[in-house]
Amino acid sequence: MTPPAPPDSGPAAVGNNDHLVQSNNPDHPANLIPYLCAKFWTLGWVTGTGGGASIREDDLVYIAPSGVQKELMKPSDIYVLSLAAQAKSLDKRSRVYLRSPPQYKPSQCTPLFMAAFTKRRAGCCIHTHSHWAVLVTLILETQGPGRDREFLINNIEQIKGFGRGFDKTGNLGYHDTLCIPVIENTAHEEDLTEFLEEAMDKYPDTYAVLVRRHGVYVWGENVHKAKTQCESLDYLFQLAVEMKRLDLPWITDIEPVKTMRS
């Protein structure tokens, strides 16, 4: 990831640990979150303040503000919290911020991002409101109860863009079936947390969870992996919607071609 030099990171540090979001390094999370969200906005992933991204570097978690135009964020808008301080806190639901811009509230997606960081040791989590993700959940809805809870696809090259799973090495193969669980949307974002965590427990190797009529959460062990997995998924969601339009199945039984390796 080599974004250009960061924009002006806002007012100089005065208290509030502002130094945590001030860096000339374009790969610093406080620079990278605004840079990535500006890119995601062009893809329709974070339009109208929806969606977002969060990055963990060791103990520190960098989070965007709530309800802001995600493509216009500045490094000085970013919240920082400590996982260790959070773990020590007696009130598990309250957040211990090392830095909070006073004019904002932290993203409503914070507990969902935290689930990826604490339950999967993820280094980055991306939330999109991509049309393709939403459409896939709507198509699944028409498959009826029991068949609407998993997005399954196989025999598509882009599936190789996904890791085999948490603490596993290597990526999925062309003939493997990719399975992304679907949870129901709730009126308030934070209420999704228990269902997202439940899906993580039930699907320990998944790197993503679809939220019906809402979007998708995708994570990875670092920014590169979260971003490329999110891109691969969006590609597959779009393909799946077009396949459905053409009445083509998402799951096919294709015999592996015999090669010198077989």
CB of 104 to ligand MRU, least distance (A): 10
Among Zn ion, ligand MRU, none, residue 34 binds (CB under 5-8 Å by kind)? none
Q: Which is nearer to Zn ion, 50 or 165 (CB)?
A: 50
- Name which of ligand MRU, Zn ion, none residue 49 binds, using a CB cut-off of 5 to 8 Å depending on partner kind: ligand MRU
28 annotated as belonging to a binding site for a ligand? no
Q: Which of 150, 157, 189, 198 is catalytic?
A: 157
Alpha carbon 1 to its chain centroid, in Å, reads 17
Q: Specify whether 157 is catalytic.
A: yes
Binding site for Zn ion (CB under 5 A): 50
Whether residue 214 is annotated as binding a ligand: the answer is yes
Q: Which is nearer to ligand MRU, 18 or 77 (CB)?
A: 77
Cβ 215 to Zn ion, closest distance in Å? 5
> Residue 50 CB, nearest distance to ligand MRU (Å)?
4
Residues linked to residue 4 through DSSP beta bridges, in sequence order? none
Choose between 134 and 178: whose C-beta lies nearer to ligand MRU. Answer: 134
Angle between helices 29-42 and 223-245 (to 10 degrees): 10
Q: Which CB atom, from 22 or from 130, has the smaller least distance to ligand MRU?
A: 130
* Residue 64 beta carbon to Zn ion: minimum distance, rounded to whole angstroms: 12
Measured from the CB atom, is 64 or 240 closer to ligand MRU?
64
Residue 101 interacting entry, from Zn ion, ligand MRU, none, C-beta within 5 to 8 Å by type: none
Residues that bind ligand MRU (CB under 6 A): 48-52, 64, 66-67, 107-109, 127, 189
Residue 107, contacted partner among ligand MRU, Zn ion, none, CB below 5-8 A by kind: ligand MRU
Query: Is 175 among the annotated ligand-binding positions?
Result: no
Cβ at position 129, least distance to Zn ion in Å: 6
127 carries a ligand binding annotation:
yes
Burial annotation 120-136 (CB, 10 A radius, 16+ → b, else e): bebbbbbbbbbbbbbbb
Active site amino acids: 157
Residues in binding site for substrate: 109
